[in-house]
Amino acid sequence: MSSSRLIDRVRVVVKLLLGTFGGASALFVPMLTGVAAPPQAAPSTSGSTSVSPPVTPPRPGGGQPDRPAPSRPATSPTSATPSGGIAPAPVPISGDSDTGAWTTGIPAVTSAGSDLAPTTGERATSDASDLTWSIRARLFSRGSVPQIGAFASGQVVDVATGQVLWAKNPSVARAPASNQKVVTAFVALASMGASTRLTTAVLQVPAQPATLYLRGAGDPALSSKQLAAMANTVATRVKGQGLAAVTVVVDDSLFPAPTNAAGWKPEWIPATVAPVRALVADQVNVVDTSINAGQVLAAKLKTVGVTATAVRRGVTPSGATAVATTLSPTVGQLVQTMLNASQTDYAEALHRLSALRRGFPADWAGARANAVQVLTAAGIDQAGMVVNDGSGLSRTGRMTPLTAIDLVRTIRSTPAQNSVIFAAAGMPTSGVSGTLEDRYLTAPTSCARSAIRAKTGTLADVVALSGVSTGIDGRERLFSVIVNGVSSTSAARADVDALAATSTGCY
């Protein structure tokens, strides 16, 4: 060891002993946040409706719930923790989203430009010295700021050695916000495989050709353009049968009638998250996405000379045959969009589709049971975990940094998972893509641009970030920071970003 490196390490040890990293002695005090009220039912629409214009889809490219959120002081009731401290209960802002509705049409995906190859567990070659000691010291210093306070949990781990470089309440479960989508991604790929596609169909029964059944497959990316193409095919068929008018029946029976997840608020429906149905067009958030999709099909049929006299809900009879079909993107592509744009409605669809594929009911209990079983089979740490939904919107969902890091480690070492989740179009990349595109652009964290791939998480009083960083010393590090009780989203986000940047050694 060179004398200069030895001197640097001695200085770090002296500083630690002198307590100049404020609060380090209290880093492992466990704290728990409160538990919210039970779920309430989402609005449900059934029966028949006359044909009315479908909801006009908003501009594509939205659906990013982790954009900067307005902040507001915590004024909600508090709950006592086992350690005797007081943990603030969740503090909602309008919709508990960031800048409005989370879904504004089929989202656009931004690319990092390159994939992140699977980890080998070995140190990459680099001319830079191993910065582990100095990084560790800086993490303890920056992990003690007020926004990374009593209601924060976090950990940073060196991949090659398994050494914990920094930890704060890592076994305490917090509301993870959209970090829950990493679980949903892993479970979806394990349950369905990356190449699976979903088939939406228009069907007829020979004895009743004037009734068309639009059968949903749970495809969250179904577009009006696809429905228009099916309408052209259908119009050719029904005109050949001597028909000029039809009834459109929407069949969304693949999923049960929608209810709210535990920890969802009724006022969130449908602007923040739509009731979870198996049929939606253009990812429009309305109370009844299935009827709306039927109205879109009816409108497209009208343009090609076939009148739909009614749109109603029903179940496709046995013996019906397909007149037209359309395929979804692959499950892998749906997973990438969900992660990259933090798309909540995609997450809820994948959550249920995963359960169905493995023989579980497509309801909240079935989706939860499937997720737990998949995680258990993969050996993922689930201590303290509560899976209430697929998106992380639930106020009562819980996850620890230990779970998040264990999950990311498993993904990185599993090629079938890593090739999707850490592809260029997958996990957001600092300053480059997804919900991290507009972060890490200014000093001091701009030095970490492109060096971090992580899932963001934002609710009214929650900021989270979990993923992987590549250090300037060539070493890969895993990290997860979950902060609850946030009074300033921008300040907490800046401090969480600083921790992740610190793990690269550039700051």
Q: What is the DSSP letter of 131?
A: -
CATH number of the domain encompassing residue 253: 3.50.80.20
Domain termination site, one of 285, 305, 328: 328
Name the token pair of 50.
């006359």
Q: What backbone phi and psi angles, to 5 degrees, belong to 387? A: -100, 105
pLDDT at 106 (0 to 100):
74
> 151 and 139 in one domain?
yes
> 475 and 341 in one domain?
yes
Residue 318 counted as domain residue: yes
CATH number of the domain encompassing residue 143: 3.40.710.10
> 472 and 338 in one domain?
yes
Residue 31 counted as domain residue: no
> 210 and 188 in one domain?
no
> 371 and 458 in one domain?
yes
* Alpha carbon distance 469, 461 (integer Å): 25
> 384 and 320 in one domain?
no
Residue 82 counted as domain residue: no
* Alpha carbon distance 186, 177 (integer Å): 16
* Alpha carbon distance 53, 45 (integer Å): 17
Name the token pair of 149.
């306070």
pLDDT at 50 (0 to 100):
53
Name the token pair of 449.
């641009």
pLDDT at 127 (0 to 100):
42
Residues linked to residue 307 through DSSP beta bridges, in sequence order = 245
> 365 and 452 in one domain?
yes
Cα–Cα nearest to 401, from 228, 148, 185: 148
> 365 and 379 in one domain?
yes
CB 161 within 8 A of CB 133: no
* Alpha carbon distance 382, 379 (integer Å): 9
Q: Mapping DSSP to helix (H, G, I), strand (E, B) and coil, where does residue 46 land? A: coil
> 436 and 298 in one domain?
no
Cα–Cα nearest to 346, from 361, 364, 333: 333
Reduce the secondary structure of 72-129 to three states and give it as a string.
CCCCCCEEECCCCCEEECCCCCHHHCCCCCCCCCCCCCCCCCCCCCCCCCCCCCCCCC
Tell me: the pLDDT tens digits for 447-483? 999 999 999 999 999 999 999 999 999 999 999 999 9
H or E segment to which residue 11 belongs: helix 3-18
Residue 3 CB: number of other CB atoms within 10 A? Answer: 7
> 467 and 339 in one domain?
yes
> 321 and 467 in one domain?
no
Residue 209 counted as domain residue: yes
* Alpha carbon distance 307, 481 (integer Å): 55
Q: What is the pTM of this model?
A: 0.82
CB 451 within 8 A of CB 427: no
Cα–Cα nearest to 401, from 182, 117, 188, 132: 182
> Mind listing the pLDDT tens digit of every residue in the chain (507 residues)?
444 444 444 343 333 333 333 333 222 222 222 223 333 344 444 444 556 667 655 433 333 345 433 332 332 322 323 222 223 333 332 223 433 334 447 787 888 888 888 876 554 444 446 788 889 989 988 887 776 778 899 999 999 999 999 999 999 999 999 999 999 999 999 999 999 999 999 999 999 999 999 999 999 999 999 999 999 999 999 999 999 999 999 999 999 999 999 999 999 999 999 999 999 999 999 999 999 999 999 999 999 999 999 999 999 999 999 999 999 999 999 999 999 999 999 999 999 999 999 999 999 999 999 999 999 999 999 999 999 999 999 999 999 999 999 999 999 999 999 999 999 999 999 999 999 999 999 999 999 999 999 999 999 999 999 999 999 999 999 999 999 999 899 999 999 999 999 999 999
**Structural domains counted in the chain:** 2
- Write down the number of H helices and E strands in the chain: 11, 13
pLDDT at 129 (0 to 100):
62
Sole residue written with tokens 């309440």 = 169
Radius of gyration of the chain (CA): 25
Q: What backbone phi and psi angles, to 5 degrees, belong to 226? A: -65, -40
> 390 and 311 in one domain?
no
* Alpha carbon distance 308, 248 (integer Å): 6
Domain termination site, one of 302, 328, 354: 328
Cα–Cα nearest to 62, from 111, 98, 109: 109
Domain termination site, one of 304, 328, 352: 328
Number of residues that this document lists for the chain: 507
Residue 73 counted as domain residue: no
* Alpha carbon distance 388, 386 (integer Å): 6
Residue 17 counted as domain residue: no
Residue 347 counted as domain residue: yes
Domain span at 294: 199-328
pLDDT at 120 (0 to 100):
61
pLDDT at 144 (0 to 100):
76
Residue 275 counted as domain residue: yes
